[in-house]
A and B are shown apart, each in its own frame.
Chain A
Amino acid sequence: MTHPSDIVLTGLGLVLPCGDGIEAARTSLRCGTPCFAELPEALGRGRGAACTDFSPTGIIPPMQLRRLDRPSRFAWVAAHQAFADAGLDPKPMGDRIAVAVGTITGGSEASEAFLRPYLQRGPEGASPMVFPNSVANAASGHLALAFGLKGPSATFLERECATFAALEQGARWLRTRMAEAALVLGTDGLFPLLLDACRDARLLVRHGDPVIGSGTGFLPGEGAQAFLLETREHAEARGARIRATLAAVTAAPAMENASAARAAALAEAADRVMGERGPDRWIGGSSGSPRLDPSEGGLSRAHPAWPAPVHPKAIWGEFAGAGGPLLAAALLEPAGRVMITCPGSAGPQYAAVLEGVRL
């Protein structure tokens, strides 16, 4: 369990289906209108929340843009925003700044783009330009190049909760003094094979938008969310504005892949981070999925005094940064104590608390 109360968040950058930037996200979350629509053919068949207004112009040089897969493009722009928001030039920090990325789909879009022509045409179809992006950590490598980041780096795959694993590792590197700042980032991009597999596996809602708690399925989304973490000492020394304090982040694994085990694990994680005092605000990770929603439903019933959870995935979709949108939503309104629960479809179930959230 981690109690990194000496860790603060000083920068935020967002690429979401509602648009790029903090204001677009805040407006979207306040009005609560889902961003789902028929997807462009290049991203897959069916409905989802795509970042159709995403604009890297003026941020990613055109020569670089050609080499990047979709999650890396989103990550680059979100990181650019986060550094600007924090008022921090990362280059002079060199190896004192770490990168921790969470993703569900990272590398998969490029794997499909590489493999499809290879399977159809053999070695002639294999592209040496595409293959390097087929690794899940492609985004962190591109970020290192773009921003001169030379500290430790890790990319996590933890299903719907990967960005919470990244958050935990980023905070740990700061606490152990392996870095003074950490860019924590969630990023995911939509691609045809993902849509096909989710639909064939009957995970997607068939009609209309997903309904939280219904268990009828989710709709996919995409985007990236960047969070700059610093030690309080480092942030205060440079006069940074502190957006929030990371009070706690923890996970409890579900031993069996069953609804009751997942619910018990999420409840344990939430209990650990909350202690006696309840949250002023609750951001939940339910998406309409029968594998996620019951866990938070049970938690809500067990704590009737807690505020009703806000569900960003009902607006921006599942995936979309592997838990990153939940952390982002927690930073969009002022609050004394915000709890974020992030149920996963198997394995570890995450919870975190942010304190002193300021705009």
Chain B
Amino acid sequence: MTGGPGSRIRVAVTGLGMVSSLAPDREGTWSAMLAGRDGLGPLTRLHLPLEPARLAGEVPIACGRHQTHCEAMALRALEEALDGLEPACDPRRIGIFQGAGTSGLPVAEAYLAALLQGRRAPAAEVVQQSACTVTDALGRRLGALGPRGTVMNACSSSLLALGQAWERIAAGELDMALAGGAEGLCITTFAGFSCLKAVDTAKCRPFSRDRAGLNLGEGAVQILLEPLDRARSRGAVILGEVLGYGASMDAHHPTAPHPEGEGAARALTMALRTGGLPGEEVDLISAHGTATPANDGAECRAIRRALGSAADRVSVTSSKSQFGHTLGASGAFGAATALLALRDQVVSPTLRLEDPDPDCDLDCTPREARERPIRAALVNAFAFGGNNVSLILKRWGGA
């Protein structure tokens, strides 16, 4: 692991589950994305009549008793990722790595609301429901006795979780890892982004000249990773290879990105270096692409800094135009859509990109899906605190 890419164990993706506002499964979500549909609609799950923004990417799902929305979505995504497979390896060599943004917060919100209304509220769930509750539920379902980690890096959480899973398998410590994230809508984030004036009252328009902010969404993605040799020997369907990741901090501002994308570029460069891949071989960037005025321009400049002239022929896309911003789960959504793009050799579109911002001078795949050769993809997730993560994925070509 301390050596170069050649000294590491190669890591394959062999399972992928998605629960999104477009569809409750992977292929339904992907085909809807390619058809140019979005999952944004009227906000119904939260009662916030005074908020000007009324759009969200909601996921209707039945929850079990004492089960949160996040847990229900995460477990459904896990079942799809497993696709009937029950792991046949030492449970101590199965790890679970999850990223979360607000998991558990809706329970605390309900508790506080009850207290303010002078009602007694069940406190035990507030104490027990935390982000790691979802991680533990996934671990129980898989029978995993290996390492577990729950990262809360705001919007880059689940992409960092994928990086953690990769480094454990690449180092030969695990035979299987489940990585991903789940995020549910809650009052705090809706009200918070709204008071920061970061929410668009209309459907968001990443990379557009008139972009005015994000829409919030919810959902879950779970991704199974395992050593490539093991995946091949059991005849698994391989969706792609994870080559590595990079991470950095801006040290610039608590919420705004560095205007020149300096920190993000370092994460991208570190990912390329770790993966041992030149920028010229990257054909797709699954962007953070929030549609906030500050993010999209800075991200495009970061891509240019990291890729140089190769940035002129890369395809960029933002899945937030389909799902909204799923916060802690958004990095995993970006990785999932990049994996499907690598599999099918088609880039999903950035919806509503009618009038591209000259400040975002890359090919941001406006309106329609586009078939093209895709050898490798970079996935970006950036977060409050100037926290940047980039993951690098490669097409599986059978060698």
Contacts and interface: CB of A to CB of B under 8 A. Distances in A.
A158 B248 CA distance: 22
B112 A119 contact: yes
Nearest to A127: B195
A159 interface: yes
A134 B192 contact: yes
B122 to A, nearest CB: 8
17 contacts: A95-B266, A104-B130, A111-B105, A112-B112, A114-B192, A134-B192, A135-B384, A137-B152, A137-B385, A138-B254, A152-B247, A152-B248, A156-B150, A156-B151, A193-B112, A193-B115, A253-B145
Interface string A110-128: 0110111011101100111
B112 A134 contact: no
A297 B386 CA distance: 43
B148 A348 contact: yes
Contacts of B383: 135, 137
Nearest to B262: A150
Interface string B145-172: 1111111111000001000100100010
Contacts, number: 209
B148 A203 contact: no
A106 B101 CA distance: 12
Contacts of A338: none
A141 B385 contact: yes
A123 B50 contact: yes
B108 A114 contact: no
A123 B124 contact: no
Contact of B188 (A134, A142, A203): A134
A118 B187 CA distance: 9
B204 interface: no
A166 B88 CA distance: 30
Contacts of B160: 154
Contacts of B2: 175-177
B297 interface: no
Interface of A: 1, 67, 95, 99, 104, 106-108, 111-112, 114-116, 118-120, 122-123, 126-128, 131-132, 134-138, 140-142, 144-145, 148-159, 165, 169, 172, 175-178, 193, 196-201, 203, 251-253, 255-257, 346-348
B182 to A, nearest CB: 14
Contacts of A118: 187-188, 191
A115 B112 CA distance: 8
Contacts of A119: 112-113, 116, 187
B376 interface: no
Given A95-B248, A156-B150, A178-B270, A128 B196 contact: yes
B127 A155 contact: no
Contacts of B130: 104, 157, 159
Chain B CB within 10 Å, residue with most, of A95, A135, A201:
A135
Contact of B248 (A115, A137, A150): A150
A172 B151 contact: no
B109 interface: yes
A348 B108 CA distance: 23
Given A137-B154, A165-B149, A346-B136, 20 more contacts: A99-B249, A104-B130, A111-B105, A118-B187, A119-B113, A123-B195, A126-B192, A136-B131, A142-B385, A150-B251, A153-B248, A153-B387, A156-B151, A159-B132, A176-B2, A193-B112, A197-B126, A253-B139, A255-B145, A257-B136
Chain A CB within 10 Å, residue with most, of B116, B126, B143, B173:
B126
Nearest to A257: B136
Contacts of A123: 50-51, 191, 194-195
Q: Which 4 A-B pairs have the closest CB atoms?
A: A141-B385, A200-B123, A152-B247, A136-B152
B7 to A, nearest CB: 11
Contacts of B135: 347
Interface in B246-275: 246-255, 263, 266, 270, 274
Contacts of A193: 108, 111-112, 115
B178 interface: no
A158 B96 CA distance: 13
B140 to A, nearest CB: 6
A175 B385 contact: no
A131 B112 contact: no
B249 A151 contact: yes
